[in-house]
Amino acid sequence: MLHALFVRHAESEWNRLGVIQGQHLDAPGLSSAGDVQARALAEDLAGCGAQRLVTSSLRRARETAAAIGTRLLLEPVVDAAWDERGFGSAEGVPFSSFAPGTFGVADGQVVDADRAPEGGESLRDVYHRAELALAELAPGAIVVTHAVVLRCVLSLRDGISCEDMVFEPLTNASAYRVELEVDRPGR
């Protein structure tokens, strides 16, 4: 049984501006509000009993993990498996520049799990990546990741297929408990 806490990184400058971040452009780090959120989250997680701290390789997640690690006395371990969905050529462009459904989601529902932006990943790609990363994750971890990856993890936790995922808002610097049976490699 996997027991872990998953955290969406604190607000970044590009979150604040409504710009697509993805993974290929390591966008600017946390906003001033994000710095405050990260420290507050670290306080909230104090005493949670985490044994390890894993973070996406992207700056906004690493900065959030640094605040958590300082408070919990845990050294963050970087794992690119937890990086945000690659949005390819759309990265660095405001979300408002794209029509609903462009990235496979419209009105909070998946409309095409296989649609991928040029040079980017489909939702199915990210869902599969999250599934593989969960199988490798040791219990007792805090994982600092991103909205699309976190939605995939929560869907996997709840037994929801990629095609049936719901894209409800996930607040920056929010934490979610995940307990689920995972298929471990070699077992």
Catalytic residues: 9, 84
User: Would residue 76 be called left, alpha or beta, if left means φ above 0 and alpha means ψ between -120 and 50 degrees?
Assistant: beta
For residue 33, the one-letter residue type is: A
Tokens 């599969």 — which residue? 128
Strand order in the sheet with 2-8: 76-78, 52-55, 141-145, 2-8, 175-180
Q: Which long-range contacts link 24-27 to residues 24+ away (Cβ below 8 Å)?
A: 24/86, 24/87, 24/88, 24/91, 24/119, 25/91, 25/92, 26/58, 26/59, 27/58, 27/59, 27/60, 27/91, 27/92
Residue 155 is inside which H or E element, if any?
helix 147-157
